[in-house]
Every structure is written in structure tokens, then in C-alpha cells.
Amino acid sequence: MDIITSKQDVLLGEEILLLCKAGAEGEIIWLKDGEEIVDEEKVTKQDETSSKLCIKNATMQDVGKYSCVCDFDSGHQDDVFIQLYVYEGPSFGSTNTYHEFLEGTDGIMPCLVMGQPAVDVHWLRDGEEISSNGGKRVRRLPDNTVLIEKVKRKDAGTYVCRAQIRGRPVYQQLPFSVVVNAPPSVRLREEVKKVLAGPETNVSLLCLVDGLPKPNITWNMPVTFDPLHHQFNSDRSQLTIKSVARGDYGEYICTATNKIAESTATFMLHVYEAPEVFVSAEQQSVSVGERVSVSCNVSGHPQPELHWLNKQNGRTLDSGSGRVRVEDGALVIDEVVPSDGGLYSCMAVSNSGNASRDVAIYTQPGPPHYLSVSPGPTSVLFSLKSPLDMAKVSSMTKGIVFGIVMVVFLVVFLVVDATCCYRNRCGLLMSISTKLFGQKVPGLKMLEEGEGTTNGEVKMNGLSTP
């Protein structure tokens, strides 16, 4: 005896077809749960060895034990049975299968299951069943929902709700998609950047952006966007400025935006310019006693300090009222003397560097000093002429002045003594001649007494002696 069927588990409303085959001829009857089925529309005799049971529209009442009993012509009786199950579902109705949760919040996913007889619900993640253990952050609740406490990004993915007819291998699965959202956040490695302007200087501003969904990045710049000057990477998280110029100075604002919120961060770009020095002349020739002025201008960012340096003695020149001074950034030397010649340096000093330009001052000698002697009827006039008052020549030492005075004194003494000798027959030369030649001195011109006498008086103009 054998009962042939396509399946034991029949969906509500489906057709049930059972075929009973006996090994010999006999009378075959069908029983359900021990009671004979006498409905001729359901039971059909096929031949002397087989019978068919057909239920066209299965209901829950059709669930039960079906037996095929055969009374063989030989007087032997035998039977065989099969258990049939009729089920409805399982189905998930209008269950929402797409969930978005904000990072850090609690997320709940319900699985609405319908079916009969009883339906058991299981939740799976990556092939593993989600436990109902209360100590788990991700767990199944008694009402067949899944709770995710303090949602993390790793919780994103696919979850499966599996509904199974209790005790039977009949089930349905429903996949759920979980998306974790996070508001944008922007981090900067450097909030302030300092660079030196120049054609070889490139600077990159990196905006470290995070968020789900992936934020869109925009930039606000203090200058007009120039594709040749400004370049972005693929996601615009990095801005590169080529050949940084002073005009690139300012605030650069990076903004990250997604459907949750937006976030911004600000870079401050400081652009320094190397100092430069410009002088009106790199060399100047000036005569002693004249005035010289050499202007100097400095540029750069931040604005450099301007200093003049005397490279002969290493001293920095001060602004003031001195003869050698700095006046409105210019080197000024009044009444130039020979020692003023040499190298002077105009220097620009700032945080972005230093620069300097040398200026060579060449001094030329003035008109020479000279002494003139003018004999008068009763006196001799000596004049010492010079373009400058010797007392104002700061480069002359006391020894030089003393030597000049001694030379002048010696010359004056000889001239006065000679005049006294030849005109008045007096003086040191007269005394020496008298001792050598007596009262008559060869070639001596005698003057009438009282005529042209000087009485030893000598006058000098233009020179004061101690």
C-alpha cells in the first residue's frame, strides 16, 4: 500500500490530490481522522488497485490524518496513512522594510507577521540569529521587534525577519535595510596657515569631513575662484592654491552639508611677502663740505622696519638732529668730511625675513688751505684761508691741529724776523749776521729812521693762535 502526493503542506485554497495504490485487487476506501469519506466528488476509483482523493479548495478543516484502507479479494486487509497540513501565510502585511536611524539614538524595527496555524518569528543578521537576551545592545523583543540601542554606524546593513509555521518547514523571509545617518562634522588639521608669497609657493587646505550620507562640500573664498589658481581634489575636501600671492590672504570657509544638517570650519590664511629694499642711488660722490641725502623705501608684509647701518663701524644710525642721521627713511649727512666715505646699508627687517641694499658714499677733497702774506707800510698781514672752519673739522685730532699750528707759527716767525732784519735791522737774523759780518751786512737795505718801521708789530687775519 502506498499514498502518493506532491506535498504534505498545502496552502489555504490550494488543491489537495492523494493517490492510493494497492499491490493487488480489492475494495479501497478513504478515511479522515478514522472516519470514512463518502463524498463521491472527492473520492474517485481509478481501477481495481488504485483510488484518488481530491480536495479542490483546501480549508483549515481539511487538516488531518488521511488513511487508505484496502480489503483484498484474498480476504486480507491493509492500510496506509498520511498527515496533511493546511496553512495560511506566513505574510508580513504592510511591514516597513526600510529604516533610517540617527547615530546615537535608539532604533526599533517591527516585523508584522500573519499566518495560521501559529507562526514563529526569528530575526537574522549576517546569517546569525539575533538573540532575545536582554543584555544585548541589539536584541529581539517579545513582540517580534528588534531594538538597536544607541545606534552605531556598524549597525547599518541588511536584517532578515523569518516567519515560520510552527512545527513545519514552511516559512517566509523579509529583508530589512537599515541606514545609519550622522550629521556632518568638519575637522581641520590647521586652523591657521602662514606662507610666504611667491611663484613657487603652493598651499593646500584640507577639510576633514565626516557624516552619513556623505556630505557635499563647498568653499567660500576671499577671492574669486580661478580654475588655474585654485584646484580641488575629487570630493572637494582639499583646496590647493597655486603660486600664492598677497591677495590670497583671508578666511577660507569649508562647508559640509547632508540631509541631516550642515557644518562649517574656517581656515585663516596669512600670506607674508619677503622684504624688498629700494634706494635712490647705490653710489654717490660728494665733495667735502657738501650735503648728501639718499632715500630708501622698504616693502613687504608685514611692513618691515627700516634701519640704516654704517658698515664701516657696524653702528646703526638713529633718527635725530645729528650731522649723520636718518630722516624720513633717508640717509642724511650734513657738511661731509672725508671720513664719512664708505659703505652704508639700508635694511628691511620683519618676521618674514630680512633684506638690505648697500650704498657707497665717495668723498672728494675740497679746495686746499692756503696762507697769504701782505706787507704793509707799518705792518705785515698774514691770511689763512679755508672753505671750512678748521675748528669744525671733526676728523682732525688734537695732534694734527697742534702740528698745523706749529708749522704756521714757524713760517710766521721766519717772515716776521726777516722783515725786521731787512727793514729795522733787528731780530734773530740781524743778530746772527752781525756776529758773522760785523755791523755791515752785505746786501742789507738801510731804511731811513722812522720810515716804514713796524716796531716789531705783526698782524694776522684769518688765524687765531694761542
CATH number where 12 lies: 2.60.40.10
Q: How far is CA 298 from the centre of its chain?
A: 28
Mean pLDDT across the stretch 435-460?
Answer: 47
Q: Which of 167, 182, 197 is the last residue in one of the domains?
A: 182
pLDDT tens, position by position, 264-321:
999 999 999 999 999 999 999 999 999 999 999 999 999 999 999 999 899 999 887 7
The lowest-confidence range among 150-154, 307-311, 389-393, 430-434 is 389-393
Say if CB 429 and CB 350 are below 8 A apart.
Answer: no
Nearest to 269 by CA among 197, 169, 374, 183: 197
Rounded Cα distance, 69 and 25, in Å: 12
pLDDT at 206 over 50: yes
Distances (CA, A) of 103 to 92, 260, 264: 27, 11, 20
The answer to whether position 162 is within a domain reads: yes
pLDDT at 460 over 70: no
Q: How many domains does the chain have?
A: 5
The answer to whether position 194 is within a domain reads: yes
Confidence of residue 38 (pLDDT cuts 50, 70, 90): confident
The answer to whether position 42 is within a domain reads: yes
The answer to whether position 232 is within a domain reads: yes
- What pLDDT is recorded for position 173? 95
Half-sphere exposure of 259 (CA within 13 A, CB side): 7
Considering the domain architecture, whether residues 290 and 338 belong to the same structural domain is answered as: yes
C-alpha cell at 331: 640717509
The lowest-confidence range among 235-239, 316-320, 385-389 is 385-389
Distances (CA, A) of 224 to 229, 241, 256, 396, 418: 10, 12, 20, 65, 94
Mean pLDDT across the stretch 390-398?
Answer: 49
pLDDT at 259 over 70: yes
Query: Number of H helices and number of E strands within the chain?
Result: 2, 37
C-beta neighbour count of 187 within 10 angstroms: 12
In percent, how much of the chain has pLDDT > 90? Answer: 69
Considering the domain architecture, whether residues 286 and 327 belong to the same structural domain is answered as: yes
The answer to whether position 259 is within a domain reads: yes
Nearest to 139 by CA among 128, 182, 119, 177: 128
Considering the domain architecture, whether residues 203 and 177 belong to the same structural domain is answered as: no
C-beta neighbour count of 383 within 10 angstroms: 13
pLDDT at 386 over 70: no
pLDDT at 253 over 50: yes
The answer to whether position 275 is within a domain reads: no
The answer to whether position 60 is within a domain reads: yes
Considering the domain architecture, whether residues 82 and 105 belong to the same structural domain is answered as: no
Q: Which of 335, 364, 393 is the last residue in one of the domains?
A: 364
The answer to whether position 466 is within a domain reads: no
C-alpha cell at 51: 483510488
pLDDT at 372 over 80: no
φ and ψ of 206, to 5 deg: -105, 125
Mean pLDDT across the stretch 232-256?
Answer: 95
The lowest-confidence range among 122-131, 174-183, 355-364, 455-464 is 455-464
- What pLDDT is recorded for position 344? 96
3-state secondary structure 286-305: EECCCCEEECEEEEEECCCE
Q: Which of 218, 245, 269 is the last residue in one of the domains?
A: 269
- What pLDDT is recorded for position 413? 74
Pairing of strands 296-301, 262-279: antiparallel
Nearest to 250 by CA among 218, 222, 224: 222
Considering the domain architecture, whether residues 242 and 318 belong to the same structural domain is answered as: no
pLDDT at 110 over 50: yes
In percent, how much of the chain has pLDDT > 70? Answer: 81
Q: Which domain holds residue 26?
A: 2-89
